[in-house]
Amino acid sequence: MDNRYFIEEVRLVANESSSEALKEVTKKEGGLKIDGGNPIITYWESISDPDIKVQLADVVDVDQFVSKYGITGGELLTLKVKFTKEGDSENKDFEITKDHKLVLNAITDVITTSRAQRATLQFVSEETLVDETARLSKRFEGNIIDMVRDILKKDKKGIKTTKKFNTQPRSLNPFKDRSFNKYTFVGNMKRPFDTIQWLSPKAATDEEDCGFLFFENYDGYNFRSIKTMIESKPVKKYTRVDSTPYGEDSLNIVNAKINQTGDLVKNLRMGTYANKTIYINLETGEKTVLDYKISEVSGIKNPPKLPGKLDDHPSRLMLRLIDPGAMQKGSKKKQEEREADLAKYQNKSYSRVNLLNSYSMNIEVAFSADLRVGDTIELRFPYKADEKTVKKGKSDFTDLSGIYLIKNLRHEVGNSKSATYLEIVRDTFSAK
């Protein structure tokens, strides 16, 4: 297998609490260089997680630099992965800088031999550590997207990150003006990331644009709807052909495994197709009943048709409590209208998220530094995977083909192999 990427440089950079020895080497050389052995770098992103993770495995002489430089955790990671093939515009170098704020979280899997000590270094986003001690306490009121931005960047008891905050796919202006719905709540000493995840199903720009996800990728933090992600332009097109593992253009699907093609029982239990929510006002005891049917949602293309008209009957009943004391200021009628809108958004959001995971696949492709979770890619699975037939445009493609959303991403770079592994998902009913 063609190993076109190699690890050029890995360094540990001092923080405020680091030893004077590490601060000195950081000042002179930009950080402590880790160059012993044959380390393997693994990099993770997920649309389900508010952080990035990096693992540096098989590092030698760990005891030496830990004792000499006082490495205890919190040190910043910088690394460079170089691409060796010239003239290939589809690929580029991969780099982690100080701006990504990935810090040493743990040293694990320590193995001591007569010659050296080997171990694995685990890194996480610095904001993950901040989140463990931060607690929100104030009353938040207004536009949901403004509150999320406040929690991430402005609130004194929030994350206070300097990373970019994106609400749109990369193909659009990340700061395009969008009118989000309004909400009011009290922090109640909850962690910032937990609060944002709790707000996600409540957010909407309209009745079709709901089902928001909060996650971090290489470009920063993201608060984006499933609708805008799925409808974004694919960043790459991959084809399964019978050729060398990666092919000349590096856009061959090396391996593919279908995880799931729909789970009716699970979706019924989650109320994906039809559900009923009962809202109870804690002040008045008044009940509001809201019915939801996926077949009546205009924002979902080609909704599923279930046997026995199962989608006509709610398969999940939910109870929600309304606390008027935490509601936005205004008349009782306006408050009730806001809560009714919120209920509709939440029901559609839960259904949209569940439906997205109906169809899941894992694929392996050549290492691609410019892929991100939240991107879409186009896959083509020809009936005849002959490379010449595909290139001539004479091949038909199976139903596996279509647009997929990158849910999970893993880069691996080592001496023997460099590759990118993707878990991709789509709504079966609007795949093409």
Whether residues 35 and 95 fall in one domain? yes
Please count the other Cβ atoms lying within 10 Å of the Cβ belonging to residue 392: 9
Whether residues 91 and 167 fall in one domain? no
Whether residues 88 and 180 fall in one domain? no
Whether residues 107 and 30 fall in one domain? yes
Whether residues 84 and 27 fall in one domain? yes
Which residues are paired to 380 by β-bridges? Answer: 239
Query: Quick one: how many helices (H) and strands (E) in the chain?
Result: 9, 22
CA distance 389 to 401: 17
Ramachandran class of 31: left when φ > 0, alpha when ψ lies in -120 to 50, beta otherwise: left
Whether residues 220 and 277 fall in one domain? no
Whether residues 406 and 420 fall in one domain? yes
CA distance 144 to 185: 10
CB distance 41 to 205 below 8 Å: no
- At 311 the pLDDT is 67
CA distance 41 to 418: 9
Q: Domain holding 393: CATH number?
A: 2.40.30.150
Spell out the per-residue pLDDT of the chain, length 432, in tens: 445 778 889 999 999 889 999 999 999 999 999 876 788 999 999 999 999 999 999 888 777 788 889 888 999 999 999 877 655 555 678 999 999 999 999 998 888 777 778 889 999 999 999 999 999 999 998 889 999 999 999 999 999 999 999 988 776 644 455 668 888 889 999 999 999 999 998 888 876 788 899 999 999 999 999 888 988 899 999 988 766 554 445 688 888 998 866 667 777 766 677 777 777 776 677 777 777 777 666 556 566 666 666 666 777 777 766 655 555 555 455 555 566 666 667 777 777 777 777 788 999 998 999 999 999 999 988 876 555 655 655 567 777 888 999 999 999 998 678 899 999 998 765 444
Q: Which of 89, 65, 63 is nearest to 75 (CA)?
A: 65
Whether residues 103 and 238 fall in one domain? no
Query: How much is the pTM?
Result: 0.85
Whether residues 325 and 212 fall in one domain? no
Q: Euclidean distance between the first and final Cα of the chain, in Å?
A: 32
CB distance 410 to 371 below 8 Å: no
Among residues 356, 391, 411, the one where a domain terminates is 356
Whether residues 165 and 176 fall in one domain? yes
Which residues are paired to 53 by β-bridges? Answer: 44, 124
Among residues 290, 322, 356, the one where a domain terminates is 356
Task: Kindly write down the DSSP assignment for every residue of 11-66, as one continuous string.
Answer: EEE--TTS-HHHHHHHHHHSSEE--SS--EEEEEEETT-SS-EEEEEEEE-HHHHH
For residue 305, the number of C-alpha atoms closer than 13 Å in the C-beta half-sphere is 1
CA distance 323 to 133: 27
What is the span of the domain harbouring residue 247?
233-262+358-430
CA distance 156 to 135: 10
What is the 8-class DSSP label of residue 290? Answer: E
CA distances, 29 to each of 25, 101, 349 (Å): 6, 18, 49
Q: Which of 202, 101, 189, 99 is nearest to 147 (CA)?
A: 202
- At 50 the pLDDT is 95
- At 336 the pLDDT is 56
Whether residues 319 and 344 fall in one domain? yes
Which pair of structure tokens corresponds to residue 87? 């003239």
CA distance 254 to 294: 36
Backbone φ and ψ for 292, nearest 5 degrees, come out as -130, 135
Among residues 356, 378, 396, the one where a domain terminates is 356
What is the 8-class DSSP label of residue 242? Answer: B
Residue type, 312: D
Beta strands in 164-254 (DSSP E): 165-166, 182-186, 212-217, 220-225, 236-239
Which pair of structure tokens corresponds to residue 11? 């360094």
- At 248 the pLDDT is 46
Whether residues 191 and 54 fall in one domain? no
Please count the other Cβ atoms lying within 10 Å of the Cβ belonging to residue 313: 14
Counting the structural domains of the chain, the total is: 4
